[in-house]
Amino acid sequence: MSSVLYDLPGPRARLRNRILGVVSIAAIVALVAFIIYKFNQTGQFEPRKWEQFQYASVQRELLTGLWATLKAAGLATVLALLFGAVFAGARLSDRWILRTPATFVVELFRAIPLLILIFFGYYVPLQYGWSIDKLWALVIGLTLYNGSVLAEIFRAGINAVPYGQTEGAYAIGLRKNQVLRLILLPQAFRSMLPAIVSQLVVLLKDTALGFIITYPELLFVGKQIGGRLPFGLPYVPTYLIVAAIYISICGLLSILAWWLQKRMSRLPRTAGKVVRTEDINAGATPI
Amino acid sequence: MGDFFRVLTDNHQVFLDGFTNTVQLFLIAAVGSLVLGTLLGAMRVSPVPALRAFGATYVNVVRNTPLTLVFAFLVFAVPKLDVNIDYFPSAFIALTVYTSAFVCEVVRSGVNTVATGQAEAARALGMTFGQVLTLIVLPQALRAMVPPMMSVFIAMLKNTTIAAGFSVLEAGAIPAYMAERGEPQMVVLSWIVIGFLILIIPLVVLQRFLERKWAVAR
């Protein structure tokens, strides 16, 4: 394989690459072996640390945590998509009275750390003694932040459709909302779908912030299971299991996003360029 | 309105300490993730399959793990492995481990934006690997990397707040302190937002300026 950095390897380069390969495999194996040694030395493979995961009640606990995570993610996804659609619409409007406040809101919420947004929904009601569910504090924060990012994705998607499409649509006598609904949205949707899915992965990951406001989601449940003395404080096994759950769910969604991106780039059914999250600047990198 | 400024002047020490720690954490984690991320990025574009696979695995695992989980693992699980790290270094490690996956992707896609023909032409002129890298590839790749790299660091600056959940007194921990003192949280949080805007707006302005200045015509 030739790349921008190196040419097709000749005999000498092949030998060198092979030596480098062996050395790096040895280094990786050594790293893994060290981790396993450390685990073994501190008794992480002891049966009693893993025992409780066989109990139906502990499995149910994990599932309850996962359900709480998915519930927060699901509610926030629906609300963020709505928020994004409304604010993208407002930012694309011809009227400044809609455009300016929408731009302000979207830019502001993208600049505020998500945890601080969640704190607005958590500490402020707490102080006045209003009872607000922690779920909603989390969902409000997730909605405001991810909704603003989604608004930018939607706007970038619409703007990525070449202007000729709009001109053509007006020329055949369509109205403003027909142009948007019949011409721009169907093409833009295809080009922004991968970016939307990537952002939803971010949203799902960010539900873990609920841990900090003690919303009983997966990570919070993990801390409780890990902190049980009779089982030898099995934090390490528990967090490995929790991580495996997060990685498999988010990984599947990431693969979906990647597949969509490949597919959308291949099929020339849209005139718009595929929106990549990297293109939407200022802090909207899916982190 | 008087209340609004009183909250800041009465508690200026907490705000000052909080934001100083935030900036410190941001700066050292930025250096750390730049180093580790570039190393991983170099692995991902290297001719050695084992290194490429290692880099790809790292990125895919870390990118699909919540940062809060990385923090929790370092603070609660790692001490059980007889490795004792203080809270602030834990926060630094968590942010570095997490952010370097994104830095790695920026480095990789930056290198990949350079057309293969550029390097092929350079090699045809007889340039060595070092010359191709420093004279042809990097000058073009760096320009493409800077704006997304700044996005990554802006996101990291915001992510430093998560350390608040793990016993580090930084800007995100201010509300918890203020709750004890009974200060109006709406005002406290507004000041934190203003603090972050003061830190982030210059970065965004710089990013947009560099993006326009260094736009590469392709």
Q: How confident is the model at residue A281 (pLDDT cuts 50, 70, 90)?
A: very low
Q: Do B65 and A246 touch (CB under 8 A)?
A: yes
Whose CA is closest to A190, among A90, A89, A258, A274?
Answer: A274
The span from the CA of A146 to the CA of B66, in Å, is: 15
Of A3, A236, A281, the CB nearest to B116: A3
Sign of the CA dihedral running A117, A119, A125, A128: negative
Domain-by-domain residue ranges, chain A? 1-41, 48-279
Chain B touched by A252 (CB under 8 Å): no
pLDDT at A285 over 70: no
When the pLDDT of each residue in chain A is averaged and rounded to a whole number, the result is 88
Task: Find where tokens 């420093």 sit.
Answer: B134
CATH number of A48-279: 1.10.3720.10
Q: Residue B111 sits in a domain of what CATH number?
A: 1.10.3720.10
Minimum Cα–Cα distance from B155: chain A residue: A283
pLDDT at B217 over 80: no
The model carries a pTM of: 0.89
Q: Can you tell me the mean pLDDT for A65-71?
A: 95
Q: Can you tell me the mean pLDDT for A223-250?
A: 90
The span from the CA of A153 to the CA of A150, in Å, is: 5
Residues of A in contact with B64 (CB under 8 A): 201, 205, 246-247, 250-251, 254
Chain B touched by A208 (CB under 8 Å): yes
Chain A touched by B111 (CB under 8 Å): yes
Task: Find where tokens 């405001």 sit.
Answer: A144
The span from the CA of A216 to the CA of A232, in Å, is: 22
What is the pLDDT, as a whole number, of residue A268? 62
Residues of A in contact with B175 (CB under 8 A): 119, 123
CA distance B204 to chain A (A): 6
Q: Can you tell me the mean pLDDT for A19-44?
A: 92
Beta-carbon contacts of residue B183 (< 8 Å; ≥ 6 apart): B7, B10, B11
Q: What are phi and psi of A145, to 5 degrees?
A: -70, -55
Residue B118: how many other CB atoms lie within 10 Å: 14
Q: Can you tell me the mean pLDDT for A233-253?
A: 92
Chain A touched by B144 (CB under 8 Å): no
Residues of B in contact with A250 (CB under 8 A): 63-65
Number of structural domains (chain B) is 1
Chain A touched by B73 (CB under 8 Å): yes
B122 lies in some domain: yes
Residues of B in contact with A20 (CB under 8 A): 46, 48, 51
**Which own/partner pairs from A50-59 qualify as long-range (CB within 8 Å, at least 24 positions apart)?**
A50/A234, A50/A237, A51/A231, A52/A225, A52/A228, A52/A231, A52/A234, A53/A237, A53/A241, A58/A225
**Structure tokens, B152:** 């990554």
Q: How confident is the model at residue A284 (pLDDT cuts 50, 70, 90)?
A: very low
Q: Do B47 and A7 touch (CB under 8 A)?
A: no
Sign of the CA dihedral running B55, B58, B64, B69: negative
pLDDT in tens, B13-59: 889 999 999 999 999 999 999 999 999 999 999 888 899 999 999 99
Q: Do A246 and B129 touch (CB under 8 A)?
A: no
B99 lies in some domain: yes
Whose CA is closest to A148, among A76, A218, A219?
Answer: A76
pLDDT in tens, A156-214: 999 989 999 999 999 999 998 899 899 999 888 888 888 999 999 999 999 999 999 99
Query: Chains A and B: how many Cβ contacts under 8 Å?
Result: 201
What is the pLDDT, as a whole number, of residue A243? 95
Say if residues A72 and A255 touch (Cβ distance below 8 Å): no
CA distance B140 to chain A (A): 12
Task: Find where tokens 């030739």 sit.
Answer: A2
What would the 3-class secondary structure string for chain B be?
CHHHHHHHHHCHHHHHHHHHHHHHHHHHHHHHHHHHHHHHHHHHCCCCHHHHHHHHHHHHHHHCCCHHHHHHHHHHHHHHHCCCCCHHHHHHHHHHHHHHHHHHHHHHHHHHHCCHHHHHHHHHCCCCHHHHHHHHHHHHHHHHHHHHHHHHHHHHHHHHHHHHHHCCCCHHHHHHHHHHHCCCHHHHHHHHHHHHHHHHHHHHHHHHHHHHHCCCCC
Its domain, for residue B134, covers 19-172
B183 lies in some domain: no
Whose CA is closest to A146, among A3, A283, A5, A1?
Answer: A283
